[in-house]
Amino acid sequence: MKTGHKFKDWLMAVRPWSFPASAMPVIVTLGYLFSCGRDIIWVNGVWALLNIIVFHAAGNTWSDYFDYRKRVDAEDTFGVRTLTSGMFSPKEIKRLSIWLLAVALAAGVGLWLRTGMPLLYIGIAGALCSLLYPYLKYHALGDLVIFMAYAFLPTLGTAYAATLEMDWSVLYLAVPVGLITVAILHCNNTRDIRTDDRAHISTFAMRLGDRISIWLYCFEVLFPFLWLTGCVIAGVFPVWALLGWIAVVPAILNSRMALRYFKVGASAISNLDEATARLQLVFSLVLTVAFFVAGIL
């Protein structure tokens, strides 16, 4: 086992490539609030952004620890290899996760004291999602938890922290952003159907089967553009939000990569989770810029 870890090793352990899944819901929500002419407490917004990223890092390492113990992650599986390669010991990853969770909880308490009780309830729900995620993932509920933790809760929590008011309209954002986030997990679980079965767990992708799972992935990355258009037509989003269609190009490319699964197998989508995280980054950043332009004009 490797000792004397460098900073880049610890950075690899928390899987920073996945952070758009947690950061983008916060960023795009702030953009939406700005487009609506809301008075935003920017300190709280940035605080919420940094805090959810730390929560995400804690959740990643917590999940990796249990996946290794459960033999979901092994030497012959795809994905993160910080434990299976011997780079870190399970004890080190568990300790890292606990420290990250402690920092996130402390920062969350600070933000709650700056805002009000609704944020406490949202924060508790988010913390429970992180802690219970491994168990729920093993019982086919991982996709639902991810939607709650990285779409429903962040949009509501960010809106409250930044404005000190509950704004339920931000849930219109939770659908497109949340579906792409869930797609990151879903393609990962589709890729790992056979090795997950060996580990005696049951993911949502396993329940659906690989063929339906691939088509569901395509829906999850393409439907957000139709939702976006519908919200513009309904007057929920400004017309500038249609700029989000720029991201349809990587969405189509990702869908084509997913469909190669039928000919090549799991190796065809070995890196689709990272490609989907990049799609999330592009989609949400373009949408955020569109909201800010709408707010300025």
Q: Give the residue among 78, 58, 276 at the shortest CA–CA distance from 66.
A: 58
Give the pLDDT score at 75: 63
User: Residue with structure tokens 């004890």?
Assistant: 91
Distance of alpha carbon 217 from alpha carbon 16, whole angstroms = 22
Give the pLDDT score at 2: 47
Give the pLDDT score at 14: 87
Distance of alpha carbon 155 from alpha carbon 287, whole angstroms = 14
Q: Give the residue among 252, 7, 258, 46 at the shortest CA–CA distance from 162.
A: 46
What counts of helices (H) and strands (E) characterise the chain?
A: 14, 0
pLDDT digits (tens), the chain, 297 positions = 445 778 888 888 888 888 888 899 999 999 999 999 999 999 999 999 999 999 999 988 988 888 888 777 666 566 666 777 778 888 999 999 999 999 999 999 999 999 999 999 999 998 898 889 889 989 999 999 999 999 999 999 999 999 999 999 999 999 999 999 999 999 999 998 988 888 889 999 999 999 999 999 999 999 999 999 999 999 999 999 999 999 999 999 999 999 999 999 988 998 999 999 999 999 999 999 999 999 998
Question: What is the token pair recorded at 161?
Answer: 């922290």
Sign of CA dihedral 266, 151, 63, 89: positive
Q: How many Cα atoms are found within 13 Å in the side-chain-facing hemisphere of 144?
A: 10
Give the pLDDT score at 86: 76
Question: What is the token pair recorded at 106?
Answer: 């402390």
Sign of CA dihedral 184, 220, 216, 214: negative
Give the pLDDT score at 63: 87
What domains can be seen in the chain, in order of their start residue? Answer: 8-296 (1.10.600)
| Residue 171 CB-density burial (10 A; 0-12 exposed, 13-18 middle, 19+ buried) | middle
User: Diameter of the chain by CA atoms?
Assistant: 57
Contacts (Cβ under 8 Å, ≥6 apart) of 47:
107, 110, 111, 114, 161
Give the pLDDT score at 79: 60
Give the pLDDT score at 197: 86
* Contact predicate 194/265, CB 8 Å: no
Q: How far apart are the first and last CA of the chain?
A: 57
Give the pLDDT score at 70: 76
User: Residue with structure tokens 């402390």?
Assistant: 106
SS3 202: strand
* Contact predicate 214/235, CB 8 Å: no
Distance of alpha carbon 216 from alpha carbon 228, whole angstroms = 19
